[in-house]
Amino acid sequence: MNIENYISEAVRGSVESLYGPLGDEQLQIQKTRREFSGDYTLVTFPLLRRSRKSPEATATEIGEHLTAHVPEIGSYNVIKGFLNLSLNPAFWGSRFSELAADERYGEAPATGRTVMIEYSSPNTNKPLHLGHIRNNLLGYSVAQILKANGHRVIKANLVNDRGIHICKSMLAWKLYGGGETPESSGMKGDHLVGKYYVEFDKHYKAQIKELMAAGQSEEEAKKNAPIMREAQEMLRQWEAKDPEVYALWETMNGWVYAGFDVTYKALGVDFDKVYYESQTYLLGKSLVEEGLKKGVFYRRADNSVWIDLTGDGLDEKLLLRGDGTSVYMTQDLGTAYRRFEDNKLDDMIYVVGNEQNYHFQVLKLVLKKLGYAEWSDHITHLSYGMVELPEGKMKSREGTVVDADDLIAAMVQTAREMSAELGKLDGCTEAEADAVSTMVGLGALKYFILKVDPKKTMLFDPRESIDFNGNTGPFIQYTHARICSVLRKAAESGVEAAKEIGSDIPLLAEEIDLIKQLTEYPATVKAAGDNFAPSIIGAYVYDLAKQFNGYYHDHSILREENEAVRSMRLALAQQVARVIRKGMSLLGIEVPERM
């Protein structure tokens, strides 16, 4: 039962009985604010022209009619023109029985819509870092949430495996690597390639400095630095399929992919399809040629291809360089076309940082001008803010990024140390301690990142994320483990959880509040899906865990003498654990049964 719809229909029935048909008029009904007594509130001011009475008298009249004719509404109170309605305990008991019996609680029926969500999109010239972690966790979580909303979801990764940045690492390895490999160095492949990206930048800066000392301007020096000219030539050779350059590219990319796979597995993210820019940029070039024929694009004297978007309030955008090599926009055109054609998508969501807002605005507009408006309007850029550290921003070229592998390892180690100090690993075997530490460390990392609204720039402080108190992943995980402990003790004692809550079982106000919170889960999943916001799930699960902990502190479950009440409380705890588990899984977070 959708409670909001039920209340709306009941209130509409009473209002029409009292004042006549409402037609298309919408009643203003909302959840009662926490500082007032009640479950739902009707705003009566729009009804005064019908009742011809004061706000208080109108609210009272409607309240009397509802309590007399709708048995589920137990009482009401009036605050000025606001009618606060309270549903009776038996109503909440029956709602609890419904949700407990629903094996797919919080999962919407199939919508028939196919949605592709692209996330990760790494460059093959460096390892994944903290910024990539936010991207991967956000993309994976939104995919899980959209699945729960009934959509068919395709998780996609677009690997940026070509371009000048790749050639920088390749050239530096060729010039300074001495044949070093992941095997000979003992380094993960992505770390090794990233090392040479930093090496390129070091030599590039040195050459710029020399040229400027010789009298060139900074802009001239950046263009004329020999190492940059060599990298640009290597890119041209790659696009011409030079055998030696192409073989080196395949080898070094292979190192990187092996490294990425290790990191993805550690993060618990995966993909249904992987696209490579090296396979889509040529399609993008053909779309540019098509646009030239249609007059959508134009060619400049230097042979470069552009589109003029000044009439749309934007600027002129480069699509092909003068030497014929592609830019990001070229390959994104080809990738978008291929995805919609191959998968018959209803929606395409790109999880990309907010520094690319303009890029996606242009992408959609260019596709529309090429004649693909039918599906270009179904492209969404899920823009998210950058991750900053207490020390400031990260810089890839200078090698000052927070490496994803190092961060994951540090989080797991810190989780182990803190869990051991607090006695939460007492009685665990070494294997169990390892599993719990990994679960808690990654749970802390994921929750800390996902609890923040995606649009906001966030400050990540590892020290704050691993805390068994407050709004953290470990606090929620510990709440789940605590409930599991109660359930185990109940099973050992032969105490069974109630299958349903009968109308004869008294419910405390705190128990009704917990049931209300549980009934909010499906609406929360829908809101998170509508807004592409895992933070909505995070806030909900934290509130549920916090509410249960308060209840558990004040009321015994297993020591309750009334057998029916004990079984009801056990069932309530069981469903809280279940919904915590469901909600955290949408964030890609596991919850332990022992801690």
Is the dihedral angle over the CA atoms 531, 535, 538, 544 positive or is it negative? negative
CB 456 within 8 A of CB 540: no
Residues in the chain: 595
Spatial CA neighbour of 449 closest among 232, 176, 142: 142
pLDDT band at 396 (very low <50, low <70, confident <90, very high): very low
Residue percentage of the chain with pLDDT more than 70: 98
Task: Please name the residues in contact with 24: beta carbons below 8 A apart, sequence gap of 6 or more.
Answer: none
User: DSSP state, 314?
Assistant: S
pLDDT tens digits for 343-383? 999 999 999 999 999 999 999 999 999 999 989 999 999 99
Q: Is residue 104 part of a domain?
A: no
With vertex at residue 158, the alpha carbon angle to CA 157 and CA 162, rounded to the nearest 5 degrees, is: 145
Q: Is residue 16 part of a domain?
A: yes
pLDDT for residue 397 is more than 60:
no
> What number is the average pLDDT over the span 576-581?
98
The pLDDT of residue 465 is 84
Q: In this structure, what CATH number is given to the domain that contains residue 304?
A: 3.40.50.620
Task: Please name the residues in contact with 339: beta carbons below 8 A apart, sequence gap of 6 or more.
Answer: 116, 156, 275, 345, 348
The pLDDT of residue 8 is 94
**Final residue of a domain: which of 355, 388, 421?**
388
Q: Is residue 521 part of a domain?
A: yes
Based on the domain organization, do 359 and 455 belong to the same domain? Answer: no
Based on the domain organization, do 83 and 227 belong to the same domain? Answer: no
Mean pLDDT taken over the chain: 93
Q: What is the CA radius of gyration of the chain?
A: 30
Gap between the Cα atoms of 468 and 591, Å rounded: 13
Beta pairing class for 387-388 and 379-384: unpaired
What is the phi/psi pair of residue 70, to 5°?
Answer: -120, 100
Gap between the Cα atoms of 225 and 216, Å rounded: 11
DSSP element (H, E) containing 299:
strand 298-299
Based on the domain organization, do 341 and 208 belong to the same domain? Answer: yes
Based on the domain organization, do 82 and 129 belong to the same domain? Answer: no
Spatial CA neighbour of 534 closest among 439, 449, 411: 449
Q: Is residue 147 part of a domain?
A: yes
pLDDT tens digits for 261-281? 999 999 999 999 999 988 888
The pLDDT of residue 403 is 87
Count Cβ neighbours within 10 Å for each residue of 161-179 and write b for 16 or more, e otherwise: bbbebbbbbbbbbbeebee
pLDDT for residue 108 is more than 80:
yes
pLDDT band at 395 (very low <50, low <70, confident <90, very high): very low
- Supply 255's token pair: 């190192």
Q: Is residue 410 part of a domain?
A: no
Burial class (CB in 10 A: 0-12, 13-18, 19+), 104: exposed
Based on the domain organization, do 375 and 452 belong to the same domain? Answer: no
**Final residue of a domain: which of 347, 369, 388?**
388
pLDDT tens digits for 406-463? 999 989 998 898 888 888 888 888 898 899 999 999 999 999 999 999 999 888 877 7
**What are the angstrom distances between the C-alpha of 334 and each of 116, 279, 348?**
16, 9, 14
> What number is the average pLDDT over the span 538-567?
95
pLDDT for residue 39 is more than 70:
yes
Based on the domain organization, do 264 and 372 belong to the same domain? Answer: yes
**What are the angstrom distances between the C-alpha of 416 and each of 430, 433, 444?**
11, 7, 12
* Number of domains within the chain: 3
Q: Is residue 435 part of a domain?
A: no
Specify the amino acid at residue 354.
N
Helix, strand, or coil here: 466? Answer: coil
Based on the domain organization, do 316 and 197 belong to the same domain? Answer: yes
Other beta carbons within 10 Å of 279: 15
Terminal CA-CA length for the chain: 36
Based on the domain organization, do 347 and 462 belong to the same domain? Answer: no
pLDDT for residue 51 is more than 70:
yes
Other beta carbons within 10 Å of 348: 23
pLDDT for residue 41 is more than 50:
yes
**Residue 28's domain spans which residues?**
3-87
pLDDT band at 55 (very low <50, low <70, confident <90, very high): very high
The pLDDT of residue 391 is 63
Alpha helices in 214-323 (DSSP H): 218-224, 226-239, 243-267, 277-294
Based on the domain organization, do 512 and 380 belong to the same domain? Answer: no
pLDDT for residue 398 is more than 60:
no
The pLDDT of residue 461 is 79
**Final residue of a domain: which of 388, 411, 434?**
388
pLDDT for residue 7 is more than 80:
yes
pLDDT for residue 393 is more than 80:
no
Beta pairing class for 347-353 and 379-384: parallel
Gap between the Cα atoms of 192 and 198, Å rounded: 10
pLDDT band at 400 (very low <50, low <70, confident <90, very high): low
Q: Is residue 416 part of a domain?
A: no
The pLDDT of residue 280 is 84
Based on the domain organization, do 267 and 160 belong to the same domain? Answer: yes
Q: In this structure, what CATH number is given to the domain that contains residue 13?
A: 3.30.1360.70
pLDDT for residue 239 is more than 60:
yes
Beta pairing class for 316-320 and 305-308: antiparallel
Task: Please name the residues in contact with 66: beta carbons below 8 A apart, sequence gap of 6 or more.
Answer: 10, 11, 14, 73, 76, 85
Gap between the Cα atoms of 176 and 493, Å rounded: 69
Q: How far is CA 39 from the centre of its chain?
A: 31
Based on the domain organization, do 233 and 343 belong to the same domain? Answer: yes
Q: Is residue 148 part of a domain?
A: yes
Gap between the Cα atoms of 375 and 373, Å rounded: 5
pLDDT tens digits for 188-225? 999 999 999 999 999 999 999 999 999 999 999 999 99
Which residues share a beta bridge with 306? 298, 318
pLDDT tens digits for 460-479? 877 788 888 889 999 999 99
Helix, strand, or coil here: 397? Answer: coil
Based on the domain organization, do 506 and 372 belong to the same domain? Answer: no
Gap between the Cα atoms of 466 and 488, Å rounded: 26
- Which strands make up the sheet holding 305-308, listed edge to edge? 298-299, 305-308, 316-320
